[in-house]
Each structure stands twice: as C-alpha cells, then as structure tokens.
Chains A and B, each alone.
Chain A
C-alpha cells in the first residue's frame, strides 16, 4: 500500500510539472504580451525595453529553465497587469472557488443520494424512470445555459435573487444551483448503480426475507455498504465540478480562480495563467490521488494491476 501511495504521489508531481511545461511552451509560441500592458502610444524603444525587462527576448530554452527553477520555489513571476506575485493572486481567489464548489458539492449530494437510492430501490417503476430521465436530460443541459435561465427567471423576471457579484450568502444561491445541477445528474447515476449492485447481494435478500423494515434495510444495510463506492466515484468526478466552476464563476461574476483565469487569458496576463494552471492541476491531481487511494483501499486487486 505504501509503495502504491508513493508511486501515485510521484505521479502527481510529474503530472503537474508536465502540465506546466506544455502550457509554458504554448504560451511562448503564441507570442509575447508586452505591448498589451503599455499605453497604446508607447514608442518601440520602450516596448523593446520592456520585453528585455520581462525577459521575453531571450532564447526559449533559457526562459524555460528560468521558469522551472523559479516555479519550483513557488515563484511564477509577477502579474503583468498589477505587478504582484502571480501565485499569491491566484491563491487569494481560491477560497471563493472552494466556497462555491463545496456548497455545490454538498447540495448535489443531498439531492442525488436520496434520488439515486429511490431510483434503485424502486427499479423500473415510475420513480426510477423519472430519476433516470432527469439524469439523462440533466447531462444534456450545459451549465452556462442553465445559469442564463436562472438569471432570466430569478433575477430578470421575478427580481428576487441577485445574478452576480460576490459576498453575501444570497449571492451564492444561483451559482450554487447552477454548478450543482450538472453534478446531480452524474451523482444520481453513480448512486443508483452502486445501490443496484448492493441490492443484488445475498445478505440484502436474506434481510429482506427475514422482514427487516424497508427504511432500515435501505439505511442500515444497503446505503451504508454502497457509500464507499459512491464517495470514490464522486471524488473522481470532482474535476468535472472544477471545470464547471470556472464557467459558473464567469456567468455569475463570482470572484474566484475561474474568473481570474478567464480574465487573465483575455488580458494575456500569462504569469497568472501559469500560476492558475498550476493550482488547478495540483488540486485536481491531489483529488485524484486521494480518490485513487480510497479506491485502492476498497478494491485491493487494483493495486496488483
């Protein structure tokens, strides 16, 4: 087990490192952003001077070496726009993103688990059909459109909820709903199939035959035993949530990492893009790492593979 953890951990480092390398070269190949941060009437000499100052005139491999050696120390350079530490800026937006992602995750689980359980227990009944139907439709609705619809109904028509900006809990309602919706569809499916697996097991049949009350059967025997596979599947799926968070943040002007990344892409503020990619890759890799270990813990044969 320890071997497996160490191996997986090294993999996390390799993954993050390679992701940064790829983005670094893509960015440099796409040209340098110097001119965007100077007044439009800046003369060529000043542009050249800036280019030199920022190091964009050096050979690519030198720039890369430099980048790697400072990135290892957590230094991704300064934001071209605000001249502040890029990683610091990204980290300062992280709490807002977590806030949104975690509340959406909790909401999604609160809806999806009962729905999935019901769907599995009442297999092939109306409940199941509705449950499955919701997941199928849910997966076809892109989150940005759902966001627009929510803005339209709750902010534009009913005028009861704010459609954007950060801060108060009220501001969180619409983005949380939007982000949770997509995950609800996926999590319901996970729960349903995990429950179906457990419900087929002999001990459940025995318990059922010996007259254990339904609620107790589900809660005590079935759900408890399917919780671990559900959790691991959910953990493996958090990347989708993370990707969705970016779009949701943009739609609702939520002050998190996603909006920062989008703005920095628009502004060509590449140190921030690199720091943002680093943080997202790192979080995602860590989530995968934890989920994998969980998974390996539950199914020991995985490790052997």
Chain B
C-alpha cells in the first residue's frame, strides 16, 4: 500500500514537471524589449461559425509577419484566436472584464458584436484615425456608415461582402415530373393538380406558379414528404422578398412616412402591415403540407438529410450559393439521376393573378461584420497599419486569407484557384490554412473560389451574382443603446407575438388571419415606447447621412 502511494506520488511529480515545463516554453503576450525591434503583440478575438484552426496557420502567420516587416518596418505578432459564435460571447465577456484584448471581429446583428462589445462603451472611436490610413480609408469609406452611430462616431472597420449571395436550389427532375421547367417560353395548361403532365410544360415565372408547382409535387410525387425546405428567415430572404417587397420578420421596416418624407412609423418587420401577406402565405404552405414539418425548429443537418434523401424538392436552408452547391453535390451522390438548378428570383403577382415586375433576392449587407478596437489598447496604430497593409495590395490580402501562393493555392483564372497537384487530396479533406489572419471578409476587394465547380455550377454562381436584389431601407443602421426599461417591454412583446402568432402560423396550426391584427396591435401597445425610439433613431440616421 505504502509502496503504491510512493509510486503514484512519483508519477504525479513527473507528470507535473512535464506539464509545467510545457507552459514555460510559450512566451506570454507581452512584448519583447528592444528599441525599433519591439515586437508588437496584438490579441484579436474572432467570432466565426465557419473558421477553425488548421495545420499551416503558424507557417502562414510567419510569412505574413515577415512580409509586413519588409513592407512597413514594423514587427507584429498576430495573436488571433477564433471562437464559435456561442463561445465568443462567454469568452469575450471575460476578456473585456479583465481588459486583456486588443481587437475583436464579429458579425453585426442579434447577439452580435454590436450588442456584446460596442454597446458596452469599450471600443475606440476611429473617425479621426481611419482617414490617416489612405489604403484602408479608400477601401472601406463607403461602408463606414455601418459602424457609425448617430453622433458621427465610428466604432469599427467594416467587412465588404458581396450583396448577392443567396439563391434557391431546386430538383429539376422533380419539377419535370409535374410539368414545370425553368426554360423560357412554355405556357401549357397543366390541368388539375393531380393530373400527370404528359409532356406538357410550363415555365416557372411567378410565385403563383411556384405555389402551384408545390401543390402538384405534393400530390403527384410520393417520395416527397413536403416540397419546400427552409427556415422562415431563409424563405423570406429568397422567395417572398421580391414578390411582396418585404424583407421579412428579421429586418426593420418603414411603415409610413409623413409629408416631409420622414418616417412616421418604423417597426420590426414582423408586425408591419406589409408582412401580413407573407405570414398568411407561410401558414398556407405549412398547413397544406407544402412546407416541411418543423420548419422553424428543425436542425439544419436534418433538413440537409431530407433533401439528400429526396424527401424535399426545394432547398433554401442557409442559402449562400457555395453551400447550396455542396448540398446539391451530396444529393447527387445519393441520387445519381437527380438534376438541379438555382432559381432566378420569382416574380410577384397582383390581385388578378397577373405578373408584376417585383422580384429579387435579399441583398446581404456588405458590412455584415466588423473589427473593433479596445479603447484602452496601445496597439491601435499597429492594427490599423496592418489593415492598411492588407488593403494596399491584393497580394497581401490573398496571402492573409488564402495562404502562400503556389504552396497552398495556385491561381487558375480570375477569382479562382486550385491546389498544388501533389497536395490536392490532402487539402481537399483538410484545407491547409484557415484564413484567420485576413480578419475581415473583404470579398469586394479580393475573392477566390476553389476551382472545382462544373460549368453548370459556375453558371449557378453567376445567376446569383447577377440576380436583382432587394435592399432593406434600414441597412447599415446600428440600433443599439436601447434604454433598459424599453428593452424589457420590447422583449416581452416579441416573445408574446412569436408565441401567439408567428410560431403557430409557421407550424400550420393557427391561421394568422385570425390572430395577426390583434397580436400586432398588442405588440404596438406593449412596446409603444420602443417603437417611438426606433422611429426617431431611423430618422436621425437618415438625416445625419444626407
């Protein structure tokens, strides 16, 4: 017994020596001494749902720092740490409390960096500093409004993503089975819903056609459980946004304007009168089995599974085009006879069923994420210098985002790259570099796709990039700083509205035509102060940007 104890103790001491030894090898994030050779360590926390550490990150980091030193004469140590979006909240709260961060990157939106960091009054105000960096300023100045509050203070540096990102993936073989096609010029009458088309063809043009097509699919194709798969916010940013000119429940909407052009009522999308048609349509689709079960609560993986198994025909879950293409490929692998396409935005219809010219997909806000700097950080100049360096030459940004040219990627044309031949298999399953040192997605500045798409798929990407878009009027407005008592009533009003109207409609259980008006009125009463505040904010933003 005693011997056993002694053995265990020795083992522990050995292990602890090892563990302690490991730590001391790593240098902390303090700067090394020395005059002009000071190494500036910059600690940046990044919130990302898509990025994760990869094997060659350290190698690329050293290359970046080397080139940065050659070009700008500053020694930088980029301490970039990537966390998932939910972890970021926990970690960032602690880092802010202990003041151990220099910069942070995250998305703007609900529970985004604007709510978590900017509203806490810990960010450095940048309106004086950014113009000092020419390259950076000329690159981002158009979108700076996204991080600027009413008083003209600039709190962060925006990203520049494409506004054309979304599409709708459809199984054209299923479409053909009910007589629909995306080719122009067909207009046969297909007969009753459950009648087989027998060679007749109709072009899919309007949202009325789309609904008709779904009814036919449900009736005639037994493999399909429900033709449409997508979350409400996805459906509202692709299918309904154009025809109803309504950006959906997640965006703020200007309901009415006064004589001078100022808004007299700005409300969250879900209670706007213009949303009524959309929610009624969604109810109808869900109630009649056209929209999948658990459209609001189901897990993304399961929705992808359903599509891959052929149980759904139209897929708009997280409808960014490259993701849609990967889902299409998965489906093709499981169903070799399946064929696909990406739809052009649908046209709307008026009361008489005639086609209107309202169409488009939701425009993604270019500045969907931003970088903020700690107001107590002494590294602000270094950070801005680094961003300026990225903005000065595309080669720098490409190095920081895609890796070392010719080692990690080889350019294969405008906006495309391939992997070096001998590493292709390895890199396809496990990409070498995460892209984390690029910090912000400046897609409009430099964007490269991995060149493994077929011509058909490139055509789809073009469809999306050229599709007409619908821009939300409240774009680039930071609605932060909501007073707390208003915030509580606002939250209560939202919870109640969701519970009693929206969710029940999306599940096809309660017809919103019976609940919407009363519930929206209740919302307006409970959150009246919030709505006034929101309208004022909108007007002040508009006028300060004239």
A and B physically associate: no
Interface residues in chain B, defined as those with a beta carbon under 8 Å from any beta carbon in chain A:
none
- Residues of A bordering B, CB below 8 Å: none
